[in-house]
Structure 1
Amino acid sequence: MGLDKGIKDQLTQYLAMLEADVVFAASLGEDEASVKVRDFLTEIAEMSDKITIQDRVLERTPSFTIEQPGQTSGIVFAGLPLGHEFTSFILALLQVSGRPPKIDEAVQKQIKAIDQPLHFETYVSLTCHNCPDVVQALNIMAVLNPSISHTMIEGGMFKDEIDQKKIMAVPTVFLDNEEFASGRQTIEQLIEKAAGPTSKEVFADKEIFDVLVVGGGPAGSSAAIYAARKGIKTGMVVETFGGQVMETLGIENMIGTLYTEGPKLMRQVEEHVNEYNVDVMKGQRAKDIRRNDFVEVELENGAVLQTKTAILSTGARWRNINVPGEKEFKNKGVAYCPHCDGPLFAGKEVAVIGGGNSGIEAAIDLAGMAKHVYVLEFLPELKADLVLQKRLQTLDNVTVITNAATKEITGSDHVEQLTYTDRASNGEFTLAVEGVFILIGLMPNTEWLQDRVVLNQRNEIVVDKHGATNIEGVFAAGDCTDSAYKQIIISMGSGATAALGAFDHLIRS
C-alpha cells in the first residue's frame, strides 16, 4: 500500500518533533488486515530512529499501542488509523513521546483529578469527520491520567464487532463495555459525562463582561473577535466550538478560499479567537437570560454570568420530522450525517428524507456505498440545484419519490421499514430499509428564549440592522436570527455587525 509522498513529507516533519523514544507494541497475525497494519507501522518506524516495533498479544488483532519503552500509555489503535484518523495517530505519537497536548490548564486539572479506572473504546469509520475529535480527546485523557485507557476501533477491520453490537452511527463510545456516548463530543463534554459537570463555583469569581457571546459557531466567533479587538472584556459561553459547521464537509463558497472543510475551517477560527483575550468557557450551555442592573446569563449548572451586553449566536440544528420511530431509532438506523455513518450501511437499502441540496448531496454520496437509495420529497418536485439533480439522474441505484409524507419508521432493535403516504393519491406504501437519513433543513436553537426575546413564527430571533433584539443590551447573530439567508459567510458578517452594535451601545450607555 504505502504512504504517498505528500503524507510522508508531512510525517517527516512531525517525527522530527518526537521528544523521546517510542514503541509500537503490535498484536499482528498473518491475515490481510494484519499485513496492512504491519506494513504501515514498519514504513513509519523506518522513518525515525526513535521508533521501534515489538510483538505483543493484545485484546484485538490487528492492533497496536503507542508507548515509551518500559511504560504504558493506555492508547491503542485497533485497525489502520488512516483517513481522518491519521491526525489522531500523529498527535498520539507526539503526546506519548512527551509533547504536551494543547488544551486549557483547567481541563488538564479536571482530567488528572479523575481517580477511578476508565476504559474507553471508540468505534469509528475512516470517512467520519466527527470521529477524530472524540478519539483525540480520549487519547489526551489517557496520556494525562494513568487510570484512563482508550482504544480506537476501525469499523472496516472489525465489522463483526460492529454487527454484534449493532452499531449504526459513529463515533460510538463504550465505557467499560457499556455504551457511553454517540456522535460528536468535545473533551469538556466527555469529562463531564465521565466525572460530573463543572461546579458553578468555578464561575463565581468571573468579573462583569462588557460583551458576553453565547455560542461558538461562525457568528459567535466573529462577534468575539470583533469585540475583543475593541479592547473590551469579552467572554464566550460555548457548548461545542464550531457549531453546525462541524457537520459540513465541502465548503466552496467561502470567498477567498477555493475549498475547505467545516472542521478545518472552525479549527482555524478557534485559533483566531484564541489570539485575543477572550474568556472562552467551553462545555457550557445557557438556559436563561434576563435584564436587571446588568444582563444576566444563567448556565445549566446554575452559575450566573453578568455582562453589560450579550450576543446570542446559538445557531441551528438538523430539523426532525417528528414521526413515530425517529427518536426511538436514532443511531440505530436513523441518522443525520451521511459522511459519518454512510459506510455503516454499505450494501444495504436506505432512505433519504429531503429533496433539497443537503438531501440530494447525501443521496449521491450514499449511492456509492448502499445497495439502493430512496429519496423522499414532501413536495411535488425536488428543491435541489439543477446540477445536483442531473448528477442524481445518472445513478442507477437511486429512486426518487415525490409527494411523500413520511408516516412512521419501524423495526425491532434497528430500523427495518419506513412507511409513507403518497400525498397525491393518499395511498400508503412501505419501504424495506435499514437506514433513514433525515436532511430537511435546520431549526434555530432558541427554545430557551421563548419568553425572553421576540421570535418570529419560525422561532428565529428578530433583530434590527444593528443586530439588536427587543431587550436593551442584548444582540443576536447567525442562523438563530431572522436573517433571510443561512450561510457561513453571512453568519460571520452578522456576528461582526452584532459586536459593533454592542460596542456602540456601550459607548452610548
Structure 2
Amino acid sequence: MLDQNIKAQLKAYLERLESPVELVASLDESDKAIKIKELVTEIAELSDQVTVRLDGQNVRRPSFGIAKAGEEPRVYFAGLPMGHEFTSLILALLQVSGYAPKVSDEILNQIKGLNLKANFDVFVSLTCHNCPDVVQALNLIAIYNPNTTATMIDGSFFQDEVEERKIMAVPMVFQNNQHIGQGRMTLEEIVAKLDTHSVEKEAEKLNAKEAFDVLVVGGGPAGGTSAIYAARKGINTGIVAERFGGQVMDTMDIENFTTVQRTVGPQFTSDMEKHVREYNVDIMNLQRVSQIIGADQTENGLVSVELENGAKLESKSVILSTGARWRELNVPGEKEYRTRGVAYCPHCDGPLFKGKHVAVIGGGNSGVEAAIDLAGIVEHVTLIEFSDHLLADQVLQDKLHSLPNSTVIMSAQTTEVLGDGAQVTGLKYKDRTTEAVHTVELAGIFVQIGLLPNTDFLKNSAVELSKRGEIVINERNETNVKGVFAAGDCTTVPYKQIIIATGEGAKAALSAFDYIIRSGN
C-alpha cells in the first residue's frame, strides 16, 4: 500500500505523537476493505505508539477512525486518504494524540468554545486541491469538541452514496445530514459559519483598530506584494480580504513565475502569507468591503473603508487589489445546476464524472487544458468554443485533437443548461454559422470562459471603472479618487498574469508611500 519513501516520511512524523493512538477499522467483505485493513496495519507497524482494532462499529463501511487509546474515534476516513489527503491523515494522527495544531490561540479558543454536538461529512476527491483544507478544519473541530465527529468520504469509494445525494462538486459538506457548504473553505470560514456570534465580535474588534498608513483591499498576489512593499517602509500596513490568496488558491500548475520552476496555487499562497506575516502586516481575513470613500470626501482626510459586517476601517491610503473571478455563462439553468453538474474546477470535480460524458465551455488555454485533463477521466469530453477557432496555444490544441475521446465544436454559442430537476442532463447551443440549435446529452459542464473583475462593490462609488468593470488607473497605479490606488487583475492593466499582478502591487505600494510623504499625512 505505502512505498518505502512514504513509509520513511510517515515514520518520522509518528515519532512526534504525544500519546498512543488507535486506528479503529470498520470493515466489510469488499476489496476496498482489504485495502483499508492493509493501510492501517502498515501505519501501526511504523510506531509502537499506534495500535489497530478491526472491530469498529461505524455505519459507513469500509472506513477507519483515529482515537486516543481507550477512547472512541471522532475523526474518520471513509476511503484511502492518499493523494492530496495524505497530509490530512498525518495531521489527524498527530492532533488526535495531543500534538498542538498550528493555528492561532484565538481561533483555537473559538473552536473550543463552539460546544458542538454534530456529525460532519465531507465528500472529497483525492485529486482535489481544495478538499484537504476543509477535511483538516473539520477534523480539528471534532478533536476539540467531544460530541462531534468528522468523516472524510472519498466519492470514488462510495459511488452509490454520491449518486444518491447528487454530489457533483467537492468538497461538499454536510452537518447532521444537512448540506451546509461546498467548495474551498478555510478553517476560519468554517468556524465563523458555526459560531453564531462571530460577525458581531469581529466587527467590534475591527472598529477598535487605529488608522492605517496603507490598507490593502484584497489578498491575492497583487495585494500580498503591496503589503510587503509598504510594510518594508516601516509604516502601519493592513490587508482586508475576503479570502487570502484569492483566485490563485484555485490555480494548480504555476510554471511561469520567475525563479520558481513549478508550484501550485495553495503552496504559492502559503509561501506568500508567510512572507507577508514576516513584516507584521495586520491580515483581516474573511471580510468583504461594501464601500470606499476617498480622502477628499472625509472630514479627517483619511480614506474610509466600510465592511459588510458594519465595521469601518480608516487609512491614509488604500490599495484596491480585489482580483477577478471566473466568468459565468449567464444562461438559463446555470445557477440552478451549479454543483449539480455545472462546475468551474476540473481538477476538483473531474473525478466525480468518471465514465461519463462532459463538456468544457471555452477554447482558451484554461479550457483546452481542462478538456485534456478530463479526457483522461471521463468517457468523452466535448469542447465548445464561441469563436470559429481555438485560442489556446498550438501545442495544447495538437494534444487535444490527438485524443480519441474528444470532440471540438466551434462557432457555437451555449444557450441553455438542461437538467431533470436534480442534475445536469445536457446543454443547448446555437451554431453561429447556420443559426441551428443543437442539444448535447451530458452529465457535467465545466465553464472556462475567462475572468470578471471583482469590482461590484465600486459601482456606486466615485472610483472610475471601465466598460468591462475594471478600475481605471494611470502609470502610477492611481485611481481618480484621492488616496486610492489599485493593482492587479481588477484594473485596466492588460495581461492578467500572477507575475504582472505582483509587479503592479509593488508599484502601487511605492506610489502610495510617495503619496503619504507628499501629502504630509
TM over 0.5: yes
Kept after mapping to 1: 8 A contact 2:218/2:239? yes
1:245 to 242, 248, 251: 248
CA distance in 2, matches of 1:166, 1:194: 24
Asked if 1:348 corresponds to 2:356, the answer is yes
Q: What is the SS of the residue equivalent to 2:489?
A: helix
Q: Which moved more, 1:464-473 or 1:75-84?
A: 464-473
Asked if 1:102 corresponds to 2:111, the answer is no
Instruction: Compute the displacement of 1:472 (Å).
Output: 1.3
The CA RMSD measured in Å over matched residues stands at 1.3
2:380 to 359, 372, 385: 372
Q: Which moved more, 1:50-59 or 1:142-151?
A: 142-151
Asked if 1:139 corresponds to 2:142, the answer is no
Instruction: Compute the displacement of 1:198 (Å).
Output: 2.2
Match of 2:318 in 1: 310
Q: Which moved more, 1:102-111 or 1:170-179?
A: 102-111
Match of 2:228 in 1: 225
Asked if 1:470 corresponds to 2:471, the answer is no
Match of 1:191 in 2: 191
Kept after mapping to 1: 8 A contact 2:117/2:145? no
CA distance in 1, matches of 2:423, 2:514: 54
Kept after mapping to 1: 8 A contact 2:24/2:73? no
Match of 1:122 in 2: 122
CA distance in 2, matches of 1:83, 1:250: 16
Q: What is the SS of the residue equivalent to 2:392?
A: coil
How many residues end up aligned between the 2 structures?
508
Q: What is the identity, as a one-letter code, of the residue corresponding to 1:440?
A: I
Q: What is the identity, as a one-letter code, of the residue corresponding to 1:53?
A: V
Asked if 1:7 corresponds to 2:1, the answer is no
Deviations 1:106-133 (A, max 9, x none): 2222222213412211000000011011
Deviations 1:451-495 (A, max 9, x none): 321111111111122222111111111111111111111111111
2:329 to 321, 325, 331: 321
Q: Which moved more, 1:83-92 or 1:68-77?
A: 68-77
1:282 to 266, 281, 285: 285
Instruction: Compute the displacement of 1:431 (Å).
Output: 0.3
4+ residue runs over 3 A deviation = none
CA distance in 2, matches of 1:136, 1:243: 20
Match of 1:504 in 2: 514
Q: What is the SS of the residue equivalent to 2:65?
A: strand
Match of 2:447 in 1: 438
Q: What is the identity, as a one-letter code, of the residue corresponding to 1:433?
A: L
Instruction: Compute the displacement of 1:420 (Å).
Output: 0.5
Instruction: Compute the displacement of 1:105 (Å).
Output: 2.2
Asked if 1:201 corresponds to 2:200, the answer is no
Cα separation, partners in 2 of 1:40 and 1:116, compared to 1, 3 Å: closer
Q: What is the identity, as a one-letter code, of the residue corresponding to 1:304?
A: K
CA distance in 2, matches of 1:320, 1:485: 20
Aligned sequence identity (%):
55
Match of 1:482 in 2: 492
Q: What is the SS of the residue equivalent to 2:52?
A: strand
Kept after mapping to 1: 8 A contact 2:116/2:145? no
Deviations 1:381-434 (A, max 9, x none): 110000000001111111111000111111111111200000000011000111
CA distance in 2, matches of 1:202, 1:142: 27
Match of 1:382 in 2: 390
Kept after mapping to 2: 8 A contact 1:409/1:417? yes
Q: Which moved more, 1:12-21 or 1:346-355?
A: 12-21
Q: What is the SS of the residue equivalent to 1:66?
A: strand
Instruction: Compute the displacement of 1:264 (Å).
Output: 1.2
Q: What is the SS of the residue equivalent to 1:478?
A: coil
Kept after mapping to 2: 8 A contact 1:73/1:96? no
Cα separation, partners in 2 of 1:100 and 1:72, compared to 1, 3 Å: farther
Instruction: Compute the displacement of 1:36 (Å).
Output: 0.8
CA distance in 2, matches of 1:278, 1:33: 48
Instruction: Compute the displacement of 1:147 (Å).
Output: 3.6
Scaled by the length of structure 2, what TM-score is found?
0.95
Q: Which moved more, 1:192-201 or 1:92-101?
A: 192-201
CA distance in 1, matches of 2:290, 2:394: 42
Deviations 1:368-393 (A, max 9, x none): 11111111100111100000000011
Cα separation, partners in 2 of 1:399 and 1:66, compared to 1, 3 Å: same
CA distance in 1, matches of 2:139, 2:234: 37
CA distance in 1, matches of 2:383, 2:104: 44
Deviations 1:233-252 (A, max 9, x none): 11111221211111111111
Kept after mapping to 2: 8 A contact 1:186/1:283? no
Instruction: Compute the displacement of 1:71 (Å).
Output: 3.0
Match of 1:159 in 2: 159
Deviations 1:224-283 (A, max 9, x none): 111111111111112212111111111111111111111111111112122221111111
User: Equivalences for 1:11-160 in 2 at 5 Å?
Assistant: 11-55=10-54, 56-72=56-72, 74-160=74-160
Q: What is the SS of the residue equivalent to 1:479?
A: coil
Instruction: Compute the displacement of 1:73 (Å).
Output: 5.5
Asked if 1:363 corresponds to 2:371, the answer is yes
CA distance in 2, matches of 1:473, 1:320: 33
CA distance in 1, matches of 2:205, 2:148: 24
Q: What is the identity, as a one-letter code, of the residue corresponding to 1:415?
A: V
Deviations 1:310-346 (A, max 9, x none): 1111111100110000111000000000010111111
Kept after mapping to 2: 8 A contact 1:317/1:444? yes
1:416 to 403, 408, 425: 425
Instruction: Compute the displacement of 1:6 (Å).
Output: 2.8
Q: What is the SS of the residue equivalent to 1:378?
A: coil
Asked if 1:273 corresponds to 2:276, the answer is yes
CA distance in 2, matches of 1:223, 1:8: 42
CA distance in 2, matches of 1:498, 1:220: 9
CA distance in 1, matches of 2:96, 2:23: 11
Instruction: Compute the displacement of 1:72 (Å).
Output: 4.3
CA distance in 1, matches of 2:182, 2:121: 12
Q: What is the SS of the residue equivalent to 1:37?
A: helix
Q: What is the identity, as a one-letter code, of the residue corresponding to 1:310?
A: V
Deviations 1:268-302 (A, max 9, x none): 11121222211111111111111212111111110
CA distance in 2, matches of 1:301, 1:71: 41
Kept after mapping to 2: 8 A contact 1:73/1:142? no
Q: What is the SS of the residue equivalent to 1:480?
A: coil
Q: What is the SS of the residue equivalent to 2:103?
A: coil
User: Equivalences for 1:325-340 in 2 at 5 Å?
Assistant: 325-340=333-348
Kept after mapping to 2: 8 A contact 1:73/1:146? no
